[in-house]
Structure 1
């Protein structure tokens, strides 16, 4: 599901791709649901030998309730704030948090349902994981898998339906104009009710570039056995750093149908899409846009498109195999803000800490009663990059609160902070719910310089710079810092 796929018919995925599906191989992937494709719901399968479950959601819960707020954030409207219109793809629906569009079905599935009202307006649902650090370990493999039934609609009634299960590079959050360089992995896409799954890589520059944007490097094939629309199938993506060259692979029901290695796209594009903190996962059903329009040969949806056919998602899971916990050469180091004031690997379950009220005073640039998080024993060379962060903050219903962050680097652990960065504060809205405070706010001030760290320390201080009420900071597996040390 391209973040910014053009609506120019000359650059969309052409219908010829329907005839270009790769023959499936008999590759074994090790992690498949134990159920037959058509059965309604099942548990996340246990890890196969050598694999470790990193994150999952089984979508268990009462009927007509929203998916877990700990695991997912809900996208609404026609675009990200300040991002491309119509989500960059030309799709026409309005995404909502209405359970009619987005909810659990009470039987272990997530249900995303496009609906058309009496005036012809479409609504639907789109969610993305709060975590944005899914990444293959150095020398290991990452697998992203979902068991999904596409909307059960075909023919004219399906024109405009565009279900997708995909992942975007973490730096897209808070920027929204750096696609496709940050990378996009489309684990499963489908349009217009065709019995076919598309797997696509987006990278490099737009238009053109090593990934042939805006089309991307993709392949498609029919779903094995039952059609994609009539039954559940397991869609899987792997990012393998255990082989040289590194390779990406796409599967449906355990059958490999697409792969791309780093030599195909070149070192620069590969590095840009793999050397950041990781990826976040998305699920949505769009209506209309460049892809379904291009395949249909005309604008979609049409008068005969039927409303109310949901995509059902049984589970989404992320596994890793092999490799180490240390970043590879040149990779930045990703650290999560954790309970106990530490920085390190993600913790589950998620938790929160309170940022004390600024009490009506102005603490812009000067930490006041901050929450402090520290990592010690940090080693590595400066990569030449910059600090990145994604802090989950919420001021509840408090008006005019502004959170602020300062990041400091002690390169030798001797107590001197050779590099300090203070970012402009982030003014949260008075509506309950997490917002993303990222480095896109820009630096307010900086002192010193980056350099090689030997048994060094990294410190993060977060506080309320302005306002009259407390705020909440999500920690554990939520707020993340990426330092340019590899």
Structure 2
């Protein structure tokens, strides 16, 4: 499929590159470029020069929405005429040349084997097609959109049609011209109601009613239904809730109850939010603009997702909003959807549970715990960022790592470490936020055609597909918020604050008047969570993997808004955070119990438009499947601990799926466990202090997080605060109240149970079961380190350890002890999980007649890999030791494969970030022995490059002699 996809893209895309470089656009002291310095968004050919190529002139002005449930209609990627299935819930849709296909799938389909189910979906399975008789449109375009609806449009020059579809709308509205309305069902179509304008029928296992204008009639011919619509040109089709097969009377009763609202067209939708600071509630009002084509009713039928229903305020006219809660439900990929009949609006009151820059140092501020943490901070003092990669994602991960070190070093008054990290953060952000003429690296570029700001080098399709901007930019924004506390001048609009606001606007522009970017690009307003793919062109709809990295973006907005005094940004972040918290608990962590029993999991790695998957894009390992929705570990992720018992059960599920304790990403997973059982997490950490560190983490932060949560206990959701940067914890019935002041003025925080905390500038204060106050004032100058001149990080290509124990790889298959090898080696496409194959597939390098004393350490390696633009490659290293040269390997070590990105440029595959996956035998002294190194692709259908110039393997023997 990957090869076919690449071929299709190559045939259907064109990249446009400006011929003349433009001067950078200033934004305060920062700037961005308008040059196309890297790949532009790619899709069907017309999109290269006109992102609105598949949008009609009647559509709203401004930047084209991307990353939505319906994006494959306008951002056509593979199907250049229609789109992929559009999973609106409860109905799914698929345009075709003759009209719009409808599907109401009520039972999940599970994929995998017994005991190994990996995915569940409510797939698009066409029940009927609604169109105009004779329609044969060459393309489906977008005529309109609103917050959660879209209007596809068809025309063949003689016949035309539009359809308004949306989340939570079981009634689809059609406008037609040039011929009769034609509904084509399956061979099982059965009519059970035909009384003039209305016709009720079952097909494909679902029940529908079509409502033609009053005075119309229907003609039934086999599986086709036809009406001239009395020449009025409009039609609605309602999908009905599930009814027993033999109960046509119930079907007719449902049709009767829907009839008063069947002629009400939904012409627009909008969600407006308000953050109630006093009660820490986000109230969101979902409004529908309607037009009645017959009768006087203005309401419609609305189906609510579980995350909305659980926080619905008022019903049946006794609260904000309107509509009557009906005893009708729909099945969907998100669980059961409840129904409001006759609604034009409804309001939810979703709790916001607070964020922190970091958990307080109540256990690690003194004593042995402090000494242990101090030593771990010493290990980070020279290079807190530990940069591994130059693109927006991996730069972001490095920034996130440094931010955590800033926070804990500040709490412990380690100003030397804190200010080194702050200096690195400022230097990196300032570099990225400043464009120079002709610059193509570490720069942001605005693409006016698409209304997007892309950072280059990009990663994971953030340029070509507009994927993951909220993931990448969240790290930058959190880092900027941290820097704003200590250097407020840097964060002003006159300096670099405007560039932070540009990143926010690109990923989730909350200003409807700003037409440079689409409104809330990555956030699905009705579904309540982000979508990751820009085009969403998959048979299962759009997808979202790391919900927690989406929350990192929302947390960044909250802290940036609070630190800079920007309430609009703060409130937008709180709205995103609170809404997504509700959705994540329901859909990623099965809070409503809606995941199919046969699925066998209570968590997913990915949400799709049509379902969910116990999977990731990059790994099938349970640790990463479950860990991807728990990183990064920050004080902005306390929402993960709102159900402590579920945290512990989720961790136990991981251990069961993994057939044992985690062997990779232990730090992430223990940190997650600490939100449910801190004592258990601390015991696990204490038992394995030499675990491999996840790329965005540090040993100092992991210990700080777990040790302090073990003392604090779990998040207490029964008490809220009037400040967004506050939280409450409870252990053994005793509460600890925590608040941080990241503003420039003293602060008093009031909690809902009457407790209050006075919090000085720059401090985090804890009171109650634990009393503690720590942190330095913003702009601290205790250390004279120049924040604009941080120490240089070590060269990541330097070979680890003693050169006498280091081997270099050669293309000829030899391991040599002298550096000097140049060039690259081509690793071919995957042939098998355990087969290196011939030299066109993998590299096998050996050295024989080696003698040396075993040092007692382990194998280490550092390889440079580049998959170029190839998607889905993963490379594994295996090292084998024949200790006595008898031809039999006494020790074989296989390391976890490295998932390369599809961005040109070498990445580092190291033993520090990829742990031993399996081993056999034991090590001892080498006596005339043999060492063999094998490197090959274990996943992917394309080749990768191995950089021979800086790829090294260090073996645990020395001094060595080779005879």
What's the TM-score bracket when you normalise by the shorter of the two chains? 0.3 to 0.5
Q: Which has the higher strand share?
A: 1
Q: Which has the higher helix share?
A: 2
The structure showing larger relative contact order (alpha-carbon pairs under 8 Å, at least 6 residues apart) is 1
| Superposition TM-score, scaled by structure 1 size | 0.39
Greater gyration radius: 2
| Superposition TM-score, scaled by structure 2 size | 0.22
